[in-house]
Amino acid sequence: MVPGSLRRLQSAWEVQTRVIHALVIRELSTRFGRENIGFLWIMVEPLLFASLVGLLWSLAKGPEEHGISVVAFVATGYIPLTLFRHSVQRSVLVFTTNSSLLYHRQIKIMDFILARFIIEMMGCMMAYLFIGLILIATGFMPVPADIGLFLAGWALYSLFCLSICLVLSPLSEISDVMEKFIPVTTYVMIPFSGAFNMSSWLTPTMREFLMLSPFVNGMEMMRKGIWGIKVTAYYDVWNPIICSAVLIGIGLPLCRRVRKTLAVE
């Protein structure tokens, strides 16, 4: 009985993996086409933003702040922030624009969110790796002191971004007001992202308040993983895990509710 269940689970997993892979390829072809550098734009876009913002900050504040390269600090904060902003923006009305694909029985409504999120995460990961290698080679950033902590922070940050998309995606289908409101939230959230400051640089009261943000906890883990003992980091691993679980628990029923209202062409 158990082996049969495992085989069915494995078969379902393989089918959904192929479906998501196909949706990712379709999305890349639709968005970037096959001309010029094509899908590499998913890396170039966050890379350009991070580089320009880092350069502007270095001109405004000098080469270093708190003993850390301003360019490296801003770049390592802005790329995760770009993941949040782009994944949220791409999740708006994702069900309506892809509803015709639900004609295929193997495609589930969740696959649309996952496919677009995977694309954004791939682009930001590639941009992070590329700019990291350049900054390390030029001496602006050290070799990561704890790569495991860095990857754990990135994973928790990404998980929370995905959980937000699972909630905002169906809400954008339910309410036209929410569709217009979502882009604004990506800007309002910037002060609570931890992208441009460390918690140790803040007053105890402000630090305690910002530590409620799952983004800040993930960002602190990434920064600690890169700079090690050069920085003092504050983070709680359970904060983003619990917050993500709560949002996923809210988002899945919302997705099922929206699925019932979609007309399959």
With respect to residue 4, please indicate whether it lies within any of the assigned structural domains.
no
**Residue 198: which region, alpha, beta or left (left: phi > 0; alpha: psi -120 to 50)?**
beta
Q: Are 42 and 32 in contact (CB under 8 A)?
A: yes
Q: Does residue 6 lie in a domain region? A: no
- Give the residue from 40, 128, 37 showing the smallest Cα distance to 82: 128
Query: Which pLDDT value is given to residue 183?
Result: 74
Of the candidates 157, 149, 165, 167, which has an alpha carbon nearest to the alpha carbon of residue 125? 157
H/E stretch holding 218: helix 214-227
Asked, for residue 120, whether it belongs to a domain, the answer is yes
Instruction: Match 């495609």 to its residue by tokens.
Output: 107
Cα distance between residue 60 and residue 68, in whole Å: 15
Give every CB contact of residue 196 below 8 A, 6+ residues apart in sequence: 57, 73, 74, 77, 190
Residue 16 lies in a domain: yes
10-residue averages of pLDDT along the chain (265 residues): 68 82 83 64 74 77 78 87 88 78 77 89 88 88 92 95 91 78 78 86 90 93 93 93 95 85 63
Q: Which domain holds residue 148?
A: 12-261
Q: Cα separations (Å) of 101 from 28, 60, 105? A: 16, 49, 9
Q: Is 1 among the domain residues?
A: no
Rounded Cα–Cα distance for residues 181 and 183 (Å): 6
Total domains in the fold of the chain: 1
Global pTM exceeds 0.85: yes
Q: Do 121 and 176 contact (CB within 8 A), yes or no? A: no
Asked if residue 5 belongs to a domain, the reply is no
Q: Residue 134 has what pLDDT? A: 87
90 within a domain of the structure (yes/no): yes
Closest to 110 measured CA to CA, from 253, 11, 10: 253
